[in-house]
Structure formats: C-alpha cells, structure tokens
Amino acid sequence: MTAVSRPVERAVLFGAGRPLRLRSGQTLTDVHVAYERFGPPDPSGERTVFVCHALTGDSHVTRHHPDDRPGWWESMVGPHRPIDTRRFHVVCANVLGGCAGTTGPAPDPRRPARAPFPQIEVADMVTVHRELLRSLGVPLRLYAVVGGSLGGMQALEWLLRHPRDAGRFGLIATSARLSADNLAQNAVARAAVLADPRFRGGRYPADDPPVTGLGIARMAGHLTYMSQESLEAKFGRALSPGREGRAAPYAVPGPYAVERYLEHQADKLTKRFDANSYLCLTAAMERFDPFAEPHDDLAAADPDVCVLSFRSDRLFGLDHSRFIAERLLKAGVRCAHVHEESSRHGHDAFLKDVPAYLDAMAQWLGTRARPEVPSSPHP
C-alpha cells in the first residue's frame, strides 16, 4: 500500500486588526501556519506536548497511522515511545520563516516580489506557536514543550519568557548562544548560497532556485550533524562509483563513498527546502542569546527542565548544554542535565534510537520507551 499522510492542517493567524509585531519592530499579518496534531484531544491542555522542530524540519513529527509516511522523530514520538501518542496530545507546527506551509521568505505569489521578508527571531517563532495553541483552544498549561537543536532553542526561549505555559521543558542537543565555531560553520554555508548566480539577491523564482549553493551548504552543514567517529565507521575510505547520467551541480568528482553520501544529503534537501528560509532561520539561530534578557519569573513558576547532550555531538555538545544548565540552576530552576556517553551518531543522536537517551526522556516524561524504535534522518 502506498504510504500517505493525513493532510497537514492550516491556520491563519494575526489578522489586519491584530498584526504580529516582530522583535525587529516590523509587522506581519495573515500569518499562515502549517501544523499537525497527534493523539487524543486534550481540552485541558494538561496532556498536550508541543514539539518544536529543528532547522529544516516540518510539522510531520511522526506517523498518524501505520500506512502513513514516516515522521522525522519516530524514535521519540508515537505509540509506546517517550512522547506516547496513546497518552499525549501532540502538536507540531512548521516554524515562522520556514517553507513547509508556514509563512516565510520562500517565493510566494501572495507577497510582492520585491518586498523583503522581515528579520525573524526565535522569540517570534514562539509567539506564533503560542497563538496557534490559543486558536486551537488549547489552554497554555501544557504538559511539556520539547525540542532538539533549533527546536531546543525554541523550547528554551519559551521557558525563559513564558515559564508557566508548561510543567516541563525538554532542551535537547541545543544551544543558548552559538560559539565562534558555529558561526564560522554558518558563514561557509551562507557564502555557498550567496555565491550561487541563481540566488539573484534572494529574488529567484520558485522554478529556478539556487540549488547549487543550497546543496553545498547542506553538504557542509551535514558534516556538523555527524561525528568523525560515525563517518569513519560508516564510510572510511570506501570507494563508490560516480553518479550515473547527468551529475548534480554540487557533485564531487571523487571516488569515495562519503562523497556520494554528501551528494545524497544535498539532493534530499534541495528538493524540499528553500534557500531564503535556510538563510532566515540560520540567521535567527546566530542572533539567539536569550539569557541576555531578564527572566525573573523562572523560580516562582517552578518548571521541571531536562537538558540533554551527547558525547559525540560536535555541533552543540557538552559545553553548550552545561552553559544552559548552569544558568538555569543559578536562576533557581529545577534542572537535570543528562549527558549521553554511548552514541557515536554526533548531533544526529537526538533523532536516533539511543536507548540511554530515550530511557532518560521516558523517565522524565513519566512514560516507558519501546525497546526498539526506528531512527530518523536529520530534518
């Protein structure tokens, strides 16, 4: 049977009479939001988990039924998994600035061709998430807000600005402030996009996007999602035949299997993601520094926070999570820091079947993890 997905639901928020005021001071009206819901309805909000997705993710976090296409976090969300959809009502929405149904900078006939898309911050993403829940009639007293990578940044921002919205906040493989190394990695990826002649200052048509630049950006970025150990174990110096037929514009003219793998990752992303969204969201990550602003209500709200990191993560590793945990503990927040030592998957470990990590999440959420669950690729 062909795998199908339940249609993504859509909401239009912030009408002309109540526009979305962004952190930049600019405004947006009629903000389209693509979202999906899983599990039993929850009129109280107290059994609702909001899942925040990573950089190139979308609202399809898991399957709605056995014949559905796989979601990007099958190891974490679904029946018998830590975020158990038999028990929890799960909501996941494509972020503001994304390109999977939510308003963003991708070519859009509804927006004048020369009107630049405004600057977006992680805080603006959270504002849209909260308004979506209100529009769905879900009270803001959620069971948990959980996210990894950029999703973890959203969860941290939500915690610091609105700590009474949820009883638990899960911050997985994430950062409160990009390091110089992170910024340098982003600069290389951004340069690849901007150097593509098809980028045209960001005014490219939908049918002729800058796939070369975006593909190279993905190849560079994907190396930060894996560890040196995982690359060596998976590929080493194994050889692989070149591409058959016409090579992609970012193809590497070398004989190694790891080169073919990076080309494959670039292929997948350029078929589903937008270059302007990539630039918009990575820039928001670069500006993110939430502890630089006041967060006086944290201790009184008494949220239960779990910070998770992975030994092999060379993007947002131990130092990033330790910084978050120390700041939260200093603010009087109940914060457990779980550092997973066994996985060699790198940053992608948060999407994989890593038993110690899934067990820790299940214990924190009060559920039981399934012994074996499928792994998901980095979204």
Residue the block writes with tokens 């997905």: 5
- Strand, helix or coil for residue 320: helix
Distance between CA atoms of 113 and 204, rounded to whole angstroms? 9
- How does strand 20-21 pair with strand 27-28? antiparallel
Using alpha carbons only, give the angle 118, 286, 304 rounded to the nearest 5 degrees: 105
Closest C-alpha among 349, 278, 351, 288 to residue 100: 278
Catalytic residue selected from 129, 162, 337, 347: 347
Distance between CA atoms of 192 and 138, rounded to whole angstroms? 42
Catalytic residue selected from 313, 320, 321, 376: 313
Please check whether residue 264 is in contact with residue 258, taking contact to mean a CB–CB distance below 8 angstroms: no
Closest C-alpha among 148, 72, 76, 77 to residue 313: 148
Is 149 in the active site? yes
Is 175 in the active site? no
Q: Cα 359 from chain centroid?
A: 21
Give how far Cα 79 sits from Cα of 43, 65, 76, 354, 367, Å.
Answer: 20, 10, 9, 17, 11
Is 58 in the active site? no
Distance between CA atoms of 187 and 217, rounded to whole angstroms? 10
Distance between CA atoms of 331 and 237, rounded to whole angstroms? 48
203, with CB counted inside 10 A (0-12, 13-18, 19+), is: exposed
Catalytic residue selected from 59, 75, 149, 321: 149
276, with CB counted inside 10 A (0-12, 13-18, 19+), is: buried
Closest C-alpha among 160, 190, 162, 153 to residue 316: 153
Q: Which residues are catalytic?
A: 149, 313, 347
